Amino acid sequence: MFDEYYKQMMELGMSENEAKIYMALLMKRELTAMEIHEFTGIPRTKVYEITKKLILKGMCIEKKMGKKKMYQAVDPERAFNNLILEFKSDLDKRIKLASSISESLRPLFSKGMENVDVSDYIEIITNAPSIHEKYVCLVKNTQFEMLGFVRPPYAYKGRVNRLDEQEDAEFEILKYGVTVRVLYEYKHEEDLEATYTHIKKCVAAGEKARVIEELPIKMYVFDRRYVLMALDDVKSPNKSLTMIVIEHPGLAKMAAMLFDYLWDQAKDYTYLKKVIKDRKKN
How do residues 26-40 score in pLDDT, each as one tens digit? 888 788 899 999 999
| Confidence band, pLDDT 50/70/90 cuts, at residue 158 | low
% of the chain exceeding 70 in pLDDT: 90
pLDDT of residue 82: 82
Q: Is 132 exposed, middle or buried (0-12, 13-18, 19+ CB in 10 A)?
A: buried
Strands 179-185, 219-222: pairing kind: unpaired
Residue 113: predicted pLDDT: 56
Task: Examine residue 237 and say whether the peptide bond preceding it is cis (omega within 30 degrees of 0).
Answer: no
Domains detected in the chain: 2-77 (1.10.10.10), 118-281 (3.30.870.10)
Contact 210, 268 (CB under 8 A): yes
pLDDT tens digits for 6-33?
888 888 888 899 989 988 888 887 888 9
Is the CB of residue 164 less than 8 Å from the CB of residue 144? no
Q: What is the DSSP secondary structure assignment for residue 239, as one 8-state letter? A: S
Q: Could you tell me what percentage of the chain is helix, strand and coil, using 3-state DSSP and rounding each to the nearest 5?
A: 55, 20, 25
**Residue 132 pLDDT greater than 90, yes or no:** no
What is this structure's pTM? Answer: 0.58
Q: What is the DSSP string of 102-166?
A: HHHHHHHHHHHHTT--GGGGEEEE-SHHHHHHHHHHHHHT-SSEEEEEE-S--TTTT-HHHHHHH
pLDDT of residue 170: 95
Q: How far is CA 150 from CA 155, 195, 211, 214, in A?
A: 11, 10, 9, 10
Please determine, for residue 149, whether its predicted confidence score (pLDDT) is greater than 90.
Answer: yes
Backbone φ, ψ for residue 237 (5° rounding): -60, -25
User: Could you give the 3-state DSSP secondary structure of residue 60?
Assistant: strand
Is pLDDT above 90 for 59?
no
What average pLDDT does range 246-256 have in this prediction?
92
Please, which residues bridge with residue 69 across strands?
64
